[in-house]
Amino acid sequence: MQLTDSDILTAIRQGNERVFEVVFRKHYQALCNYGFGLLKDMDDAEEIVQGIFMKFWEQREEIEITVSLKSYLYRAVHNTCLNRIKHLKIQDTYRQHVGDFLELNHDSATDELYKNELEQRIAVAIDKLPEQCRLIFRMSRFEELKYQEIADQLQLSIKTVENQIGKALKILRTELADYLPILVLLWAGLGG
């Protein structure tokens, strides 16, 4: 004798485990295959189907099914798989944002440390310059004065200013050899 969906639901609501097991065995693999088609992951599909059957058993007394039992189970798998897909997309988006944020902050923090170290090394190297050489170099690079303006202010010839800048750059190149590629970029175009 073939049981109707109504008979099956009544038996399951009354706690008939044998009838529930028959339903489980009859639909389990097909539902897993359906879930796999949506998720492309059999482990996730099986987990979802098992969860649906477990929830179905736990809530058997309250469940109202207005369509066929088979349609109800497929719809439950479909909706749960769609929710899983949405959840995975949200997780991926979150991971991407966190990854971008950490990468950006790591780069920024590393750049900041490197910049601070470079600034300290430059300051120490400039302090090692002879007094007149240091003064002329600072006027040129930090006050952005042209060689002629420095010569006028210090009452020196422009040739002396040029020689002192050349001397300063030679000393700094030696002192800051490890940082030379960066310094070239920083000081490019700052000449008189």
CA angle 14, 19, 23 (to 5 degrees): 125
DSSP state of 1: -
DSSP string, 98-133: HHHHHHHHHHHHHHHHHHHHHHHHHHHHHHTS-HHH
How would residue 107 be classed by pLDDT, with cut points 50, 70 and 90? low
Q: How distant is the alpha carbon of residue 14 from its chain centre? A: 51
User: In the predicted model, what is the mean pLDDT of residues 142-150?
Assistant: 88
- pLDDT of 98 strictly over 70: no
From-to residues of CATH 1.10.10 in the chain? 128-187
Interatomic CA distance for residues 36 and 45, integer angstroms: 5
Number of other residues whose CB lies within 10 A of the CB of residue 147: 20
The mean pLDDT value for 20-44 works out to 94
Locate CATH 1.10.1740.10 in the chain. Answer: 5-94
Question: Nearest-CA neighbor of 61 among 17, 127, 10, 22?
Answer: 10
- Which class is domain 128-187? mainly alpha
Query: What mean pLDDT value characterizes the chain?
Result: 84
Weakest mean pLDDT among 6-15, 34-43, 97-106: 97-106
In CATH, 5-94 is 1.10.1740.10? yes
In the chain, the amino acid numbered 8 is I
**183 pLDDT more than 90:** no
Please give the Cα distance from 86 to 94 (Å, whole number): 12
Residue 111 has pLDDT above 70, yes or no: no
Q: Per-residue pLDDT for 33 more than 50?
A: yes
Three-state SS at 4: coil
Is residue 45 a contact partner of residue 36, using CB atoms and an 8 Å limit?
yes
For residue 103, name the pLDDT band (cuts at 50, 70, 90). low
Tell me the pLDDT band of 102, cut-offs 50, 70 and 90: low
Neighbours of 51 (CB within 10 A): 13
Say how far apart CA 18 and CA 6 lie, in whole Å.
16
* Higher per-residue pLDDT: 130 or 180: 130
